[in-house]
Structure 1
Amino acid sequence: MNSLDPKCNELKKSYDSCFNLWFSEKFLKGDSADDMCKPIFMVYQECVRKAIEEQNINLKEIDKEVLGTPNEKTPPPPETK
């Protein structure tokens, strides 16, 4: 699957490869503490965030904490057109 923006596709492939290696070689063998893919993820995440901003999507809505809050089980208000 491609990334949100074609400019991020190579970064996504790199992260996916790293994650798959980490998952099969580390996590499934009980080593969940290793964060070997974090640097790649951070670069990929920044690329995706830039693409989101270019599409005029409000990052504040994306970054909003919901899990573990009362908002988790509250449906969003209906959109007004």
Structure 2
Amino acid sequence: MADSLSPECTPLKKTYDSCFNAWFEGYLEPVASSTTDAQRIAHYQQKAKEFEDKCGKVYAEYQSCIQSAVKQKGIEPLLQQAREEHPLLAPPPPAVHPSKD
């Protein structure tokens, strides 16, 4: 795992990265194919709550640290310019893969 933008944020980044990786490993565990749509939705809602409970606080602390570092380093105007020039209005559509018949 790489260091953070600012050295004082690196411990928070490493703590968050470890928390996220542990949570994501469990998130990737497959949901049984025999479950209903409602059960799958409930499962992923539970995973989202689990993330917030386990990693949400350290994520917020890390984001706050990074936002301060961005301001201190004078990067904020560059980020704003990039957002204006290339706004993320919607996610890109999924790639279409030709079928292999």
Regions of 4+ moved over 3 Å:
none
Asked which structure has the greater CA Rg, the reply is 2
- The equivalent residue for 2:13 is 12
Q: RMSD across aligned C-alpha pairs, in angstroms?
A: 2.7
Higher normalized helix content (fraction of residues): 2
TM-score by length of 1: 0.69
Q: Which protein has greater RCO, CA pairs closer than 8 Å, 6+ apart? A: 2
- The equivalent residue for 2:28 is 28
Q: How many residue pairs were aligned?
A: 69
Q: Where do 1:1-81 residues align within 5 Å? A: 1-25=2-26, 27-29=27-29, 31=44, 32-33=47-48, 34=50, 35=52, 36-58=54-76, 61=80, 64=83, 66-68=87-89
Structure 2 unaligned segments of length 5 or more: list them: 32-43, 91-101
Structure 1 unaligned segments of length 5 or more: list them: 70-81
Percent identity of equivalent pairs: 37
